Amino acid sequence: MIQRVRLLERFLRYVRVGSAADPQSSTYPSSPGQLVLGKLLAEELMAMGASDVEHDSHGLVWATINPAGSSAKAVLLNAHVDTSPEAPGDGCAPSVVQCYEGGPITLENGLTIDPADSPELNDLVGHTIVTTDGRTLLGGDDKAGVAVIMEVAQSLMENPNPHVAPLRVLFTCDEEIGAGTKHLDLAKVQACVGYTLDGGGAGTIDVETFSADMAVVRFQGRNTHPSVGKGKMINSLRALGAFLAELPHETLSPETTAMREGFIHPYHISGGVQNSEVHLILRDFQTAQLAVYADLLRTIANKIEKRNIGVKAEVEIKQQYRNMGDVLSSFPLAADLAEQAFKKLGRPHRRDIIRGGTDGALMSAMGLPTPNLSVGQYNIHSVREYASLNQMVEAAEHALCLLELWGNV
């Protein structure tokens, strides 16, 4: 029932809309492109005959798909319309590689996606692969999920089945900067379970995420003209540099950890002599460890304060999201039926953990169990990003099978 060509056309249409989240913005959503894409999706949902279509005041897109009038409890499928701010996102020029033959893929600007660096390519020979020209993100995170959900919705409208659970569609904004559920009213979801379609590869059911906090460490110094700086100037940048040097390097960093190991990751610095600051993310599968990491930052900041007389240090911690496994463990049916759908389709699958977060982690914490499913994304947050159309089709087929299972619970 999934139309492969139509799914590809959808995906190409959506990635051409620049919708990168902006962490420096004070608006919601943080970038106008998210509203542009949301409006397009709402119009397409209305055109296919979906009910309850709404593009709300916060940019969220809602719809209900239940053409056969099923009385089963609804299932939410979610994806986010924003893309990562970590690489350019505007002006995406997608390129389609039909029947990938193996080996490096050379992008238009000369960059290559090489199996030596992206070994997953070795499993995609024969697939239709979508890349960019090397200047921007592709946006498969998460427009692959958006396209899959839209194709599932249209397939259900074209093939009404009373045995399929009603589908609630939700497209969120600003997931990439931790605000995907900022304006989510859980009562409006009206579903018994949710699934985010926001994962890499194929056949994966993500049942745990990191727990996450953000830290901002600020240093205050005193500025004077450098010609008369002796005994007067207190350079906050030197304090910030000393702080970074004190952070763990051999452990507790993304570069040195894997699997269930947590980390402290400085990712942005700004400022001058008078004031400077560093932004860090704290991640661990054990939520209690985040407090340990925060205490380590405070200890280092105090040490730098004492070493640099006159410098004032401040550590601010902001909660972001919590491990969704804490909720899913008390509602095993969510992952069990996702697994049953893979078995029914005869496809390999596995349960996995995410060294990151999803809107599903936040929804789970709000009370809606929401595992994450794979949709064929690779090299996300990079200009070498690519996606497999074959795996997007498989994700759509799996979603349809999953909805049918929920329709018979």
Note every long-range contact of 326-329, with CB atoms under 8 Å and residues 24 or more positions apart, other chains counting. 326/287, 326/364, 327/364, 327/365, 327/367, 327/369, 328/207, 328/208, 328/364, 328/369, 328/371
| Cα gap 11→271, rounded to integer Å | 40
- Of the residues 82, 198, 208, 213, which is catalytic? 82
Burial group, residue 114, by CB count within 10 angstroms (0-12, 13-18, 19+): middle
**For residue 29, is the peptide bond before it cis, meaning its omega torsion is within 30 degrees of 0?**
yes
Token pair recorded at residue 140: 């498969």
Give 197-216 as a DSSP string.
Answer: EEEESSSEEEEEE-EEEEEE
The answer to whether 60 touches 184, Cβ cutoff 8 Å, is yes
In this structure, which amino acid lies at residue 323?
N
Q: Which residue in 175, 198, 284, 394 is the catalytic one? A: 175
User: Catalytic annotation on 82?
Assistant: yes
- CB neighbourhood size of 380 (10 A): 25
Q: How many residues does the chain have?
A: 409
Judge whether 54 counts as a catalytic residue: no
The H-assigned helical ranges of 249-358 are 288-307, 325-328, 333-345
- Say whether 6 sits in a helix, a strand or coil: helix
Residue pointed to by tokens 């809107």: 359
CB 238 within 8 A of CB 272: no
Smallest Cα–Cα separation from 154: which of 5, 371, 343?
A: 5
Active-site residues, by number, are 82, 175
